[in-house]
Structure 1
Amino acid sequence: MLSQENPALVESLIEDGFAMTELRASDLDFNQFLASNKRYRLSPECFFEIQQILVRETERRLREGDRGLLNRVARYLPALPRDQYLKPGSLLKVMMSGPILTYLLGDPWTTGSRLTSSTVLRAEAERRKSSEIIDAFLDVVTNVKRFEVLCGARDRIQLIGSYGRERDLDDRASRGQRVYEFGELAQVLNNAVNATVLFLDLRGFTKTSEGQISERDLTRELYEVFDDFVPAIRRFGGTVDKYLGDGMMVTWGTDRADPLDSLNAVRAAILCQESLRKKREEGRTYFKMGVAIHHGRVYLARFIEDESSVQSTVIGRNVNLAGRLSSAAKKPLEEDEGEAAPLPGPAHASGLGVVVDPSGVLFNEGIAISRDTLVQLETHLALVHGEGVMEYEDEVIDRRFLIRYAGDAKFKGLRSSLPVYEVDFEAR
């Protein structure tokens, strides 16, 4: 029916390419998509560089009370409350609005100068016209917005029959699963869900295991540490996916999605860090710990252990990314000899911290979260924005969260850097 009534729309959706691989716009991996898709003639580096320049310009104008921008936001995004304008997710939404993009790019003295001063874009402009670069960026943005409209319409479609009872469909929908895939690839695609993944990675394990204590004592110490973590994880709905020797992987949302999954992961992470700190103060362990939380699309995989049992886990790029955020580099925060150097930057209420050095190396001895996790928190919580910090008063665990931008971390195998935020905390 759609192809008969609007063939041009169908052709556009096929040409865009997004709807062929993804369930919703929030699942798009622009790094992978743009790197492997010749349709858009724009590298991931250039796309994110333009996006960040425009987002920063949008934020600056909103803070300064730019009337032209404020009027356009009120007119074209009437459902967005004014007190939400400066949130990261809202800033991106504001910037990507067609009339607002036109307004920003129509200012050659301010926006134009910021674009032309970018070393990334200047290098690209040596190979092609600058107008072609901006045109390619606008092409991506336009098609993403068209894909968002398609997702909104598709979410209203309900299929029954293929998967049995309507209750089963509701359960699949609550987990963010596809309910319309068929064919040989259906088993993998239908097991794709949006979930929150938490990694705990102990510091000092290598030093402790190099003969200073017996294997029995080391194992006992690990059990004691992990045994205290499990109640906090279960209290907030997490599932221990696996133990990793000196770490754990925990998931939220693989069985049933909850809008507060990312918040619950942060709560559990704080309680685990406090549990470990108490043991350290009592002289019961030397371990420290890096925790990472990432939200994204993962795949549920099941492996047959024997004739009577099946092992389930989550796999995928986003799982690997969460693992990298937790392990990261362990020096100079952990040294083989002597005490670690104090963390640079603002004072940390918890005594823990996450640092990205000028070369993009991440040192994690606290709680690190990805931008995707921050967007989840921003969407469902009333974060208070201050100078360089976002705060949240959590009544459930009676702690104040202090969220700060740590820097853009670089990881081997990823073409673009990854924005990392740290979650500091203190008693209310």
Structure 2
Amino acid sequence: LVDLYGPLRKSLRELVEHIYRGLTAFGGGEQAAFAAGRGVTVFDRFEQVLETVLDTVVEQERRLGLMNLFWLAHSRSVAEVLHEFFSQQGTKLDIKYQMHPFLRSVHRNALDRVWARFKHRNGNALRQNLGADFNTAFIDCIVDDQLPFTETGLARVNFQHILVDNNKRFRLNFSEFREIQGAFRDRLRETLRRRDPRAIDMFHRWLPDLRPDGYEEERSTVRLLFNPHVVTYLLADFAGAPLGRLGSPATRAERPGSRRLGDLVLDYMDLLHAVRRSEVVDLARQTVELVGHLQPERELRSRYDEGRLFRFHPQEEILKLARKITVVFADVRGFTAASERGISERELAQHLYEVFDPFASLVARHHGRIDKFTGDGAMITFGFSRVTPQDELNALRTALAIQDMMARLRASGRTQFSMGISVHTGRAQVAHFIVDERTMDRTVIGRNVNIAGRLSSSGKLQGLTLEKDADDAGRPADGERSRRDVWVDEQGVLFNAGIVVSQDTVEEIVRQRAAEPWTRGKAHGYRLFDDEREKNILLEYVGDAKFKGVGRSIAIYRLGLDETGSNSDASSQVRA
């Protein structure tokens, strides 16, 4: 979803009206005279507005794809403005395709100035922000090939409208296009009639989605005739055959004296390549939705805060990178002790591979993102690319899946490690660090990320871990089995050898009405029924933890499953 700067569209509309008046006043044939006195204020005003937006895009790009997204959205806006203008009664449609030199120049002028400015800033900020591998071909197609600006879609293109006199982008007129394509159609028909195996094989290689037995259907024939590889093959086949209608008197009569047959073919191929490139743009543009003027501001603000709306406005943050993120930290317990027992580095690495290799599929299954591995731990995020109402629940599911996996690994003797996991939700900044000209490190940073890390790494008692060498004095009584892997002592020190969920995450789940209060004896908290597991997920309150440097205590919940099998009332419970 994209919100474009309003004055950009307004100044574009004024520019289109100005160019139209100029071209119609000169009958469409005196573009050079119009260009010489082209109304500097209107052209400059559009270029200045476009330039301020492009400045903001390059400044914030950091290899996020913002530049290409802007041009996709802007080209769609240009096509809509032109469509609206030329849908008015009395407008001359052929003028639309005579505007190309002017539309191209104002866009190219603004783009070139922004490019030059950033190239000379901070040792080529343009290359640093866009990356060494940034390819301008996408933008060049939009600016130079005309069709992305003039057509709202390429499903139905009328070449009789496009190939008009004084269309400076394409030198072919419609009559020449029809004659040349007719000659290629005849040659294609002859090739298919012969069932030339070499040709059929190449056609299938170039257009694998077409059925060879359907090549003579009109839709397939058109696709073949607009494939540059096919046309090049057919053109080579002309060498040993008459040129047919390409040399007809009708074509020669309409062809200017300086126009050779070779020039016509080159112009035809140029048109094909422009159409093919524009089809790529059109396909990508279909994924972009422009904000309408009537959409409620409250709804747009919500989507912007969730990172689901791109706002291309000068001097404003295009994409909200500070947003609600749910972070899962998973720390291996026993790794430090194992490394101190003389195990080789290679063996330690193999043990970690055994634990962490399955993470990718577990996290992907629940729509998370592995942010990084930290030696003996992993950081997983939900809401990195976009915030969804399921982020917190998916984080809980991921944590439970990891513990299930660890239990299976221990039972099979493939690991002796256990895992301490934390789940915490809070506002964090999505950061994009430039490593070098081609590499980026994308992560989340902030106070809440630090809190999530501290929740998972808690579990030290007088310098010892919660494993075999832990002092049992700090544990709860044996009767309180549900809290044996997670508890908070009287001083507010958290011990985590299971799954810890912070109050912030629980509040989000309750706010979404995905959980209900739960009590069993002295234990209390919240529960929700998980359709995936067909069991109750329990969030059991264990106490308030205190951390140095954190100004408030954090209510801690232990995450687990209701193993009592009492799900008879599941249908009446809140379902996840």
TM-fit CA distance, 1:360: 0.8
Secondary structure (helix, strand or coil) at the match of 1:319 reads: helix
> 1:412 Cα deviation (Å)?
1.1
Amino acid at match of 2:507: V
Tell me what 1:228 maps to: 358
Shift of 1:212: 3.6
SS in 2 for 1:274: helix
2:408 alignment partner, SS class:
helix
CA contact (8 A) 2:476 2:484 kept: no
CA RMSD of aligned residues (A): 3.0
Which among 488, 491, 498 is matched to residue 366 of structure 1? 498
Code of the residue aligned with 2:324 in structure 1: it is: N
2:486 pairs with 1:354: yes
Within the alignment, does 1:375 sit opposite 2:511 as a pair? no
Tell me the equivalent position of 2:156.
none
Contact 1:175 1:194 in 2 (8 A): no
1:323 is paired with a residue whose SS is helix
User: TM-score normalised to the size of structure 2?
Assistant: 0.42
Could you say which residue in structure 2 is the equivalent of 1:275? 405
Q: How far did residue 171 of structure 1 move?
A: 6.0
Is the contact made by 1:232 and 1:272 (CA closer than 8 Å) also made in structure 2? yes
Report 1:257-406 matches (<5 A): 257-331=387-461, 334-335=466-467, 337=469, 343-344=475-476, 347-348=480-481, 353-380=485-512, 381-387=514-520, 388-389=523-524, 390-406=526-542
Match of 1:249 in 2: 379
Q: 1:282 and 1:375 mapped to 2: Cα distance?
A: 37
- Secondary structure, in 3 states, of the residue corresponding to 2:352? helix
335-344 or 402-411, which deviates more: 335-344
1:209-263 CA-to-partner distances (Å, cap 9, x unmatched) read: 1134221111011011011222111100010000011100000011111111111
1:278 Cα deviation from its structure 2 partner:
1.6
Report how far residue 311 of structure 1 moved. Answer: 1.1
Counterpart amino acid of residue 404 in structure 1? E
Q: 1:179 to 1:215 in 2, by over 3 A?
A: same
The one-letter code of the counterpart of 1:157 is: E
Matched, 1:192 2:322: yes
Give the Å deviation of 1:396.
Answer: 0.6
Residue 195 of structure 1 contacts residue 297 of structure 1 at CA under 8 Å; is this kept in 2?
yes
Describe the shift of the 1:181–1:328 C-alpha distance in structure 2 as closer, same or farther (beyond 3 A). Answer: farther
1:261-293 CA-partner distances (Å, limit 9, x unpaired): 111100010010111112112222121111111
- Write the deviation string for residues 15-70 of structure 1: whole angstroms up to 9, x where unpaired: xxxxxxxxxxxxxxxxxxxxxxxxxxxxxxxxxxxxxxxxxxxxxxxxxxxxxxxx
Q: 1:400 Cα shift?
A: 2.4
Q: Distance in 1 between matches of 2:560 and 2:403?
A: 11
Determine the C-alpha separation between the residues in 2 that align with 1:354 and 1:191.
Answer: 33
Residue aligned with 1:296, SS: strand
For residues 182 and 324 of structure 1, what CA distance do their matches in structure 2 show? 39
Distance (Å, rounded) in 2 between the aligned partners of 1:249 and 1:258? 19
Question: In the alignment, which residue of structure 2 is the partner of 1:210?
Answer: 340
Higher share of residues assigned helix:
2
AA aligned opposite 1:412:
K
1:175 counterpart (307, 326, 330)? 307
1:379 alignment partner AA:
R
Change (3 A) 1:411 1:336: same
Q: Separation in 2 of the partners of 1:190 and 1:182? A: 15
Cα distance in 2 between the residues matched to 1:426 and 1:245 = 33
- The runs of 5 or more residues in structure 1 that have no matched partner are 1-154, 160-165
| Change beyond 3 A, Cα 1:180–1:272 | same
SS at match of 1:190: coil
Q: Is the 8 A contact 1:178 1:192 kept in 2?
A: no
- What SS does the aligned partner of 1:415 have? coil
Aligned partner letter, 2:389: P
**Cα separation, 1, equivalents of 2:474 and 2:503:** 26
CA 1:228 to 1:210, structure 2 compared with 1: closer, same or farther past 3 Å? Answer: same
Tell me how far 1:310 sits from its aligned partner.
1.0
Query: By how many angstroms is 1:426 displaced?
Result: 4.2
Distance 2:503 2:426 in 1: 10
Distance in 2 (CA, whole Å) between partners of 1:326 and 1:287 is: 15
Over 3 Å counting, the alpha-carbon distance change for 1:368 and 1:337 in structure 2 is: closer
Distance in 1 of aligned mates of 2:494 and 2:440: 36
- Asked if the contact 1:198–1:265 (Cα under 8 Å) also holds between the matched residues in 2, the reply is yes
Kept in 1: contact 2:326–2:426 (CA 8 A): yes
Deviations 1:311-344 (A, max 9, x none): 1000000100100100013337624648967952
Note the C-alpha offset of 1:422: 1.0
Query: Computing the radius of gyration over CA atoms, which structure comes out larger, 1 or 2?
Result: 2
Structure 1 letter corresponding to 2:297: I
CA distance in 2, matches of 1:266, 1:310: 29
Picking from 522, 540, 543, the partner of 1:407 is 543
Deviation at 1:352, TM superposition (A): 6.0
CA distance in 1, matches of 2:459, 2:296: 45
Please tell me whether the aligned partners of residues 229 and 275 of structure 1 are also in contact (alpha carbons under 8 angstroms): no
**8 Å contact from structure 2 (residues 527, 539) kept in 1:** yes
Deviations 1:162-186 (A, max 9, x none): xxxx9xx8864443789699759x4
- Counterpart AA for 1:269: A
Cα distance in 2 for residues equivalent to 1:406 and 1:373: 15
Match of 1:327, as an amino acid?
Answer: S
Percent of residue pairs bearing the same amino acid type: 39
The two structures have a TM-score, normalised by structure 1, of 0.55
Counterpart CA distance in 1 for 2:297 and 2:502 is 32
Counterpart AA for 2:360: V
Opposite residue 553 of structure 2, the aligned amino acid is S
